[in-house]
Amino acid sequence: MNDDFYRIRRLPPYVIAEVNSMRAAARARGDDIIDLGMGNPDLPPPAHVIAKLAEVAAKPDAHGYSASKGIPGLRKAQANYYGRRFGVDVDPETEVVVTLGSKEGLANLAQAITAPGDVVLAPNPSYPIHTFGFIIAGATIRSVPTTPDERYFESLERAMKFTVPKPSVLVMGYPSNPTAETVDLAFYERVVEFAKKHQLWVLSDLAYSEIYFDGKPTPSILQVPGAKDVAIEFTSMSKTYSMAGWRIGFAVGNKTLIAALTRVKSYLDYGAFTPIQAAAVAAINGPQDCVESNRQLYHRRRDVLVESFGRSGWEIPPPRASMFAWAPLPPSLEHLGSLEFSKQLLTHAGVAVAPGVGYGEDGEGFVRIALVENEHRIRQAARNVRKYLQSMGVNTPAKAAN
């Protein structure tokens, strides 16, 4: 029997899983691990959203199969969100589809539009589904940088000039997971122009649309006039409303791509549980003070992380958005590499982080730190890190972090 399955063979060992299983083993031994590894929000969804879920779940007729592309009220709510937040008009019938989280949407769109051997441009480092969604679908990935500067556009130009067959899709996600880099509208204008010139589909992942700091809201690619000719954008309830386990997200934009995703999904799923979709409507159409207070909370955690880790001898550049910091390894420990450094932090400091190499080879030299523990725990992590750094002979500032 052949057990060398084509798709499985194309999936490398999941580096981050190594640290995850060490963390699970440490916890099973009773160790207190401060978990800044996964981007799993530690906050609850708003109370009125949970109340709506319970209310609709109590109805006897709410338990059948739902609508694969999402109930009309939820697609309308998402269209309204694009109108009020970005000033973008979208048709809830033809330009919006509800997904079982944005990850599912990205993966199934990749299935819908990729033929084996197609070339897809994706950032390195990147959130894994940006590459593996397409690799599973049989595509070849050509990496482009994540940093949205001149080098990014140069590498797009080179890719179009020298790759055979010509790339058909460009994937991007800002604020970036893992690097937390952000872009402005001028960047998206250039991307849309480039995509039109080269007949490229653009997939934008805007999972952190509402987690931005320093008062600079994150733009949507769909704000660029004519972007809908080439682009589709994914957003998520997971981080904005701390509903990660509920599995609700959206794709919005180009009608052809929305139709392709909707069609594949119609073969694969029956839509999210109706009470969850109804509660998602309540979240998007209801009071938004929870979004603002969560933004402020992540902002404070970011400041505490940067300040307390800095005082422990590890300089961390402050992220402008997302729920992550992208931290270069302390210079004198660079030789360890991000995987070994992450393992040592877990073992000797009781702090879990995600090794940068898990997001692509250009993530080497960095770790991703998620803002998913409270300020007190982040300060505790900083104290533990200080002791670990001292044990490794790293010079730490004279005054202990507190």
For residues 233 and 32, the answer to whether their CB atoms sit within 8 Å is: no
Distance of CA 372 to the CA centre of its chain: 14
Tokens 């080098």 locate to: 151
Instruction: Give the DSSP letter string of 362-399.
Output: GGTTEEEEE--S-HHHHHHHHHHHHHHHHHTT----SS
3-state helix, strand, coil in the chain (%, to 5): 50, 15, 35
* Residue 207 or 272 having the CB closest to ligand PLP: 207
Q: Does 173 bind ligand PLP (CB under 6 A)?
A: yes
Q: Does 236 bind ligand PLP (CB under 6 A)?
A: yes
Q: Name residue 124's beta-bridge partners.
A: 145
* Helix intervals (H) in 181-319: 185-198, 237-240, 255-268, 274-285, 289-311
Taking alpha carbons only, the member of 40, 127, 33, 42 closest to residue 352 is 33
Q: Among 45, 101, 128, 356, which residue interacts with ligand PLP (rule: CB under 6 A)? A: 101
Task: Provide the mask over 323-362, with x wherever binding to ligand PLP is found by CB under 6 A and - wherever it is not.
Answer: ----------------------------------------
Tokens 């009125």 locate to: 48
Q: Which of residues 125-144 bind ligand PLP (CB under 6 A)?
A: 127
* Residue 74 or 333 having the CB closest to ligand PLP: 74
C-alpha distances in Å from residue 360, one per residue of 18, 142, 364, 367: 15, 12, 8, 12
Q: Among 159, 169, 232, 244, which residue interacts with ligand PLP (rule: CB under 6 A)? A: 244
Q: Which of residues 18-47 bind ligand PLP (CB under 6 A)?
A: 39
Q: Does 78 bind ligand PLP (CB under 6 A)?
A: no
Q: Among 66, 146, 238, 308, which residue interacts with ligand PLP (rule: CB under 6 A)? A: 238
Instruction: Give the DSSP letter string of 187-216.
Output: HHHHHHHHHHHHT-EEEEE-TTTT-B-TT-
* Residue 98 or 260 having the CB closest to ligand PLP: 98
* Residue 148 or 173 having the CB closest to ligand PLP: 173
> Which phi-psi region, left, alpha or beta, contains residue 387 (left: φ > 0; alpha: ψ -120 to 50)?
alpha
Smallest separation, CB 16 to ligand PLP (Å)? 12
Furthest C-alpha separation in the chain? 65
Applying CB under 6 A, what is the total number of residues that bind ligand PLP? 13
For residues 321 and 183, give the distance between their C-alpha atoms in angstroms, rounded to a whole number.
Answer: 10
From 4-12, 96-104, 338-346, 352-360, give the range in contact with ligand PLP by CB under 6 A: 96-104
Smallest separation, CB 400 to ligand PLP (Å)? 33
Smallest separation, CB 334 to ligand PLP (Å)? 26
* Residue 111 or 380 having the CB closest to ligand PLP: 111
Q: Which three-class secondary structure state does DSSP give residue 95? A: coil
Q: Among 205, 210, 233, 362, which residue interacts with ligand PLP (rule: CB under 6 A)? A: 205
| Nearest residue to ligand PLP on Cβ basis | 101
Interface contacts to ligand PLP, rule CB under 6 A: 39, 101-103, 127, 173, 177, 205, 207, 236, 238, 244, 249
